[in-house]
Amino acid sequence: MLNNKTILVTGGTGSFGKCFTKYVLKNYNPKKIIIYSRDEFKQWMMANEFKEYQDKLRFFIGDVRDLARMKRAFVGVDYVIHAAAMKQVPACEYNPNEAIKTNIEGAQNVIEAALDSDSVKKVVALSTDKAVNPVNLYGGTKLVSDKLFIAANAYAGEKDINFSIVRYGNVAGSRGSVIPFFNSVIKNGGTQLPITDYRMTRFWISLTQGVELVIKALEEATGGETFISKIPSFKITDLAEAMMPGCEKPEVGIREGEKLHEIMVTVEDSMTTYEYDKHFIVYPQMVWNNRQKPNMSGKKVPEGFSYSSDNNTEWLTVEEIRELLKTVDLEK
């Protein structure tokens, strides 16, 4: 699937981009991986980290806000993975115009560049649970981004190209999430771990699982699907217990823009959601041509079904969380 292909990753110097690059280089033989991002220092750092693969890697300075630059970068590219985004909730709330320019206008630029390209065949965009019933600006911009990528299939016409989405929550250990926060409290000698709400739950997904979901979308998407992994849930109180056994856990109140639970599939989505062995697919409600008509070979979920971290059937115990924490590489 990825052998002898040229793949471009927007925001490629981030945690996902580095994990995706490492995974693909280890398991496939791509023609080239292009890292498209705007931070030259991070590109330099990544180039040093992947020095043994320098013949397979290209680093392209550019911003998703710059359509002309992106069109130049897309020349000869087969697959595009769109990972660039402003994702820190407080930063998006304080800088709404910047969030819109990157997360919405940037998404449209990716679509325009791909549609105008003579080579791009597949585009997979990374989404988030926060785009489902959004309560903050970040989630709102990602909801619009998702809708743009789904609708992009209507503009493909007879071109051999499709656009799809993968959706997951906070990756274990990612910047701004609860694990590095608890870890910093412990490292600084704290004796208690504050819990915003005792009822709070989250999904557990690793970077590698996120990468594997993207590759599944590349392999299977026909246009407009949203791919969602089946992953276990955990309680934030259990995470605290796993990281600092027996500690005090004061309840401090939910933060602005925060949700009690991560939602992946809504009741409204259930009308077009199918279940597979290791994932769900939410198919588009509107199909614009027969070539992109989805193959609904899975099992349709019952009407009224929803998939969120509080109604999951698979839960991690404190001991299981403690073991998984040993595999977490905290983002610097």
Tell me if residue 71 falls in helix, strand or coil.
helix
Tell me if residue 166 falls in helix, strand or coil.
strand
**Sign (positive or negative) of CA dihedral 222, 105, 22, 119:** positive
Strand-pair partners of 227: 166, 281
Residue 314 contacts residue 235 (beta carbons within 8 Å): no
Residue 51 among the catalytic residues:
no
Q: Which residues of 97-109 are buried (b: 16+ CB within 10 A; e: fewer)?
A: eebbbbbbbbbbb
Got the DSSP string for 180-234?
HHHHHHHHTT-SB--BS-TT-EEE---HHHHHHHHHHHHHH--SS-EEEE---EE
Rounded CA-CA distance 65/16 in Å is 20
Instruction: Quickly list H helices, the chain.
Output: 15-27, 40-49, 67-73, 89-94, 96-100, 106-116, 137-151, 178-187, 207-220, 236-243, 318-325
Instruction: Given the residues 5, 130, 216, 235, select the one marked as catalytic.
Output: 130
Taking only Cα atoms into account, the Rg of the chain, rounded to an integer number of angstroms, comes to 20
Residue closest to 80 by CA, chosen among 46, 56, 107, 41: 107
Residues with catalytic roles: 130
